[in-house]
């Protein structure tokens, strides 16, 4: 009897899920024992399990399954991170945050471009495309790290929020430059700014609508008819926020992040739940976010293209090191230096110099460039792979050590960004 293709596909998917969950649980246990961020070991495990080594996992970066995992996983991690942020802290640093998420991305791209042009021999516009692709920091990487390392809330929440908000800026700059290179569009500063404002504004509005709708149904004193289904409501809020914003051509990731902020700060708006209900929701959100980390970073590691890395690793590494040690400090100094209200100390600035991991969003942008057959897309993808590997392996593993050396650890706290949905 001939096997049903649908059954074969379902068996393959079930095997994939089982392998990732089993390996993820074991790796998470090891990460706790040796006290390193679990995403580092997830990434390394993905490399070992991927087609370049053992071939246990083989999921194409362009497949629908991979895109679903990236979109929902990143959205839920953003939601979890937003729920852990405290509005009274962000009010003190909003100028720095706004500048880092907008002007900071552009400065980073402009600084990297001439270096990439010289080292890799690229035309300037292609080098600028590369710079804009790796400029955004990664919330899916940073948020899990800060949940495991108790950094001073002012610093941790600024860096985490920057990573959630700068994706839209990086995406718009990248897509604009790509359109110019492909001859399908031209550059207009006013149009780019208008597009950024629309994406951000609509994303914030959709996130607020879903966030307030969720807390009304689960925490209103009289009308919380879905109070017993809080975990399910959180899932619907994330999916609804992302899709609602995406359908309006806005930032779905920003919408999910804002929905999390609203739900996490519900007490400010007069909505309360019991301690037991809070703990139940917190456990669900934390577990779901952990599973999403497993899937995102194990799959991301399995998709590292070693043939591309072998061809361009030296030049790519040089560009990434410039991004880490030159471009990032300049961006932080410019953006934070203009914000006198925040009263940043030099040690806080040094910490922000170091913490700027690259991950899911730049990888997704690189995938778009490959799919659109952008000029030198293979080389750009190589640089992105190197940026992901180097920043996660070097920066995520040393976050706690750097924070300790700079006196920014707060071990007496439950956590600078513990989940408080």
> What is the domain partition of the chain in residue ranges?
5-405
3-state secondary structure of 413: coil
d(CA 25, CA 39): 12
Residue 421: what pLDDT? Answer: 58
Q: Check: CB of residue 170 under 8 Å from CB of residue 135.
A: yes
Q: Check: CB of residue 355 under 8 Å from CB of residue 361.
A: no
Q: What is the mean pLDDT of residues 310-323?
A: 90
State what percent of residues in the chain have pLDDT above 90: 34
Q: What is the mean pLDDT of residues 83-99?
A: 84
Q: Check: CB of residue 361 under 8 Å from CB of residue 252.
A: no
Query: C-alpha 167: how far from its chain's center?
Result: 8
Strand partners, 151: 409
Q: Helix 328-337 and helix 103-120: axis angle, to 10°?
A: 160
Q: What are the structure tokens assigned to 319, written together?
A: 């560009």
pLDDT at 401 > cutoff 80 = yes
Q: What are the structure tokens assigned to 154, written together?
A: 């002012």
d(CA 151, CA 415): 8
Q: Check: CB of residue 145 under 8 Å from CB of residue 345.
A: no
Got the DSSP string for 37-90?
Answer: -HHHHHHHHHHHHSTTTT-S----TTSHHHHHHHHHHHHHHHHHHHHH--HHHH
Residue 122: what pLDDT? Answer: 92
Q: Give φ, ψ of 329 to 5 degrees.
A: -60, -40
Q: Check: CB of residue 395 under 8 Å from CB of residue 261.
A: no
Residue 63: what pLDDT? Answer: 82
Residue 419: what pLDDT? Answer: 42
d(CA 165, CA 102): 8
CATH class given for the domain over 5-405: mainly alpha
Over the chain, what is the mean pLDDT? 86
d(CA 348, CA 332): 10
Residue pLDDT, tens place only, 94-130 = 899 989 988 999 999 999 999 999 999 999 999 999 9
Q: How far is CA 7 from CA 15, 21, 67, 151, 343, in A?
A: 12, 21, 22, 48, 60
Residue pLDDT, tens place only, 207-248 = 999 999 999 999 988 888 998 899 999 999 999 999 999 899
Residue 414: what pLDDT? Answer: 42
Q: What are the structure tokens assigned to 168, written together?
A: 């839209």
The pLDDT-based confidence of 192 (bands split at 50, 70, 90) is: low
The secondary structure of residue 324, as a DSSP letter, is I
Q: Check: CB of residue 316 under 8 Å from CB of residue 383.
A: yes
Lowest mean pLDDT among 162-176, 179-193, 355-369, 396-410: 179-193
Residue 412: what pLDDT? Answer: 44
pTM, full prediction: 0.79
pLDDT at 334 > cutoff 80 = yes
The pLDDT-based confidence of 418 (bands split at 50, 70, 90) is: very low
Q: What are the structure tokens assigned to 26, written together?
A: 């074991």
Q: What is the mean pLDDT of residues 71-84?
A: 83
Of 419 and 345, more confident: 345
Q: Helix 230-247 and helix 64-84: axis angle, to 10°?
A: 110
pLDDT at 333 > cutoff 90 = yes
Residue 184: what pLDDT? Answer: 63
Residue pLDDT, tens place only, 137-185 = 877 778 778 877 888 888 988 998 888 778 778 877 887 888 888 876 5
Q: What are the structure tokens assigned to 51, written together?
A: 């087609």
The pLDDT-based confidence of 321 (bands split at 50, 70, 90) is: very high
3-state secondary structure of 235: helix
Q: What is the mean pLDDT of residues 191-217?
A: 86
For residue 202, what are the contacts with CB-CB under 8 A and spacing of at least 6? 245, 248, 249, 250, 251
């Amino acid at each position: 009897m001939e096997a049903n293709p649908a059954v074969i596909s379902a068996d393959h998917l079930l095997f994939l899920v089982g392998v990732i969950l089993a390996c993820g649980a074991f790796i998470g246990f090891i990460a706790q024992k040796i006290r390193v961020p679990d995403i580092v070991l997830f990434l390394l495990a993905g490399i070992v399990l991927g087609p370049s080594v053992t071939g246990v996992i083989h999921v194409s970066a362009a497949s629908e399954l991979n895109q679903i995992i990236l979109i929902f996983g990143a959205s839920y991690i953003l939601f979890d991170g937003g729920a852990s942020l405290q509005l009274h802290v962000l009010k003190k640093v909003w100028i720095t945050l706004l500048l880092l998420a907008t002007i900071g991305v552009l400065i980073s791209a402009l600084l990297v471009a001439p270096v990439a042009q010289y080292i890799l021999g690229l035309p300037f516009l292609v080098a600028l495309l590369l710079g804009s692709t790796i400029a955004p920091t990664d919330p899916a990487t940073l948020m899990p790290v800060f949940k495991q390392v108790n950094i001073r809330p002012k610093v941790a929440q600024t860096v985490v929020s920057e990573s959630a908000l700068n994706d839209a800026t990086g995406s718009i700059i990248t897509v604009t430059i790509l359109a110019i290179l492909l001859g399908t569009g031209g550059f207009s500063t006013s149009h780019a700014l208008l597009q950024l404002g629309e994406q951000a504004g609509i994303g914030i509005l959709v996130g607020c609508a879903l966030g307030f709708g969720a807390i009304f149904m689960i925490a209103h004193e009289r009308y919380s008819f879905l109070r017993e289904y809080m975990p399910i409501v959180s899932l619907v809020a994330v999916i609804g926020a992302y899709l609602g914003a995406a359908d309006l051509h806005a930032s779905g990731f920003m919408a999910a992040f804002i929905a999390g902020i609203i739900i996490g700060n519900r007490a400010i708006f007069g909505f309360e739940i019991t301690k037991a209900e809070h703990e139940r929701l917190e456990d669900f959100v934390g577990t779901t976010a952990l599973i999403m980390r497993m899937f995102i970073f194990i799959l991301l590691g399995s998709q590292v293209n070693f043939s591309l890395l072998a061809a361009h690793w030296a030049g790519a590494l040089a560009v990434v090191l410039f991004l880490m040690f030159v471009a990032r400090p300049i961006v932080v100094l410019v953006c934070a230096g203009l914000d006198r209200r925040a009263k940043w100390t030099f040690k806080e600035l040094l910490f922000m110099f170091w913490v700027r991991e690259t991950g899911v969003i730049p990888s997704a942008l690189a995938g778009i460039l490959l799919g659109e057959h952008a000029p030198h897309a293979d080389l750009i993808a190589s640089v992105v792979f190197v940026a992901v590997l180097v920043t996660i392996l070097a920066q995520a593993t040393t976050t706690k050590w750097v924070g300790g050396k700079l006196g920014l650890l707060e071990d007496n706290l439950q956590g600078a960004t513990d989940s408080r949905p």
